[in-house]
Amino acid sequence: MSTTTMSVTSSATMTVFMNKTKADDDNVSEQVRLEDQHETVIYAMGGKALYAPVDLATPGLRILDSACANGRWIKDLIAASPAKHEYVGTDVVESLYPDPPPEGTQFLDQSIKESFPEAWKGTFDLVHQRLVMAAAGPERTPSFVVQNLADMLKEGGWLQMVEVATAPLPQNPASQNQYIDMLDTLYANLYAGTEYKKLNLWSTLPQEMEAAGLKNVQKQEVIVSYGAAVANPYIRERSLRTAVAGVPNFLSVLKKMPRNIWKSEWNDLESRLYKDLKETGGYTRYIVTWGQK
């Protein structure tokens, strides 16, 4: 698969999303959304932040969380680790970083669109990235991002990635499947006119990892529940908030795309989705993929 840089002819990138969250309230609401999202996803995973078979009891591991946002995944891994490790979190929104950082952790500015520092290559035992692949498009291909992450691994190190499978689920209310379709349309059209304009784009992550030279590649699908479908009242409320909070920001990107892809059902999607999830609940399939160098 191609790892070349794509030519950019549209203003429709996920930078529109990030600029909106910054302009709205300096990322205060985005912090809440990210916390809610993390707790919702980890609850669905049974509290399991790590699927790759990394022995966290071995002290001194070097661990990278790419596009770490507010560092919540790192915090959870620190809490779950019986030994001390060195953690590096990277992102492009410095205001999201925890201050002060957890012990043994540093947060650095680094875009997934850019190559990591040469000195980092082959130095990490574990590299993690979650729910951010769309931010690379259209300038960088999925292949570039996966190869960039894989290059950071030591021999024997593991890469774990988590993304949304943008395929409808039969048990969902109409609004939830329309939300999934909205994401699918967005992701595909970030790469309009290329081989990456395809349905359920992130389902190809296992093949991308193999193309990047990783072995022992495995995938597990996780069904994440939202709203009334969640038994735990604490997570139920947070899942409802995070499911709806991103809608206007994703739509702000789609509005920058050609008008012929816009669907009228998106006009009132936010309100209908909130009502349906609160009353009946809904589901999204996530893909966890991991591979070894």
Mean pLDDT, consecutive 10-residue segments, the chain of 293 residues? 45 60 64 94 97 98 97 96 98 92 97 97 98 93 97 98 97 98 95 92 96 98 98 98 94 93 97 98 98 98
Handedness of CA 88, 27, 185, 163 (dihedral sign): positive
pTM (predicted TM-score): 0.92
The reported pLDDT for the residue numbered 9 is: 40
Integer angstrom CA distances of residue 148 from 77, 90, 160, 231: 23, 13, 13, 39
Tell me, what DSSP letter sits at residue 181?
H
The reported pLDDT for the residue numbered 29 is: 80
Task: List, in sequence order, every residue forming a beta bridge with 292; answer none if it has no partner.
Answer: 158, 215
CB 227, CB 239: distance < 8 Å: yes
Name 18's Cβ contacts closer than 8 Å, sequence gap at least 6: 92, 93, 135
Residue 245 C-alpha from the chain's centroid? 15
Helix (H/G/I), strand (E/B), else coil: 148? helix
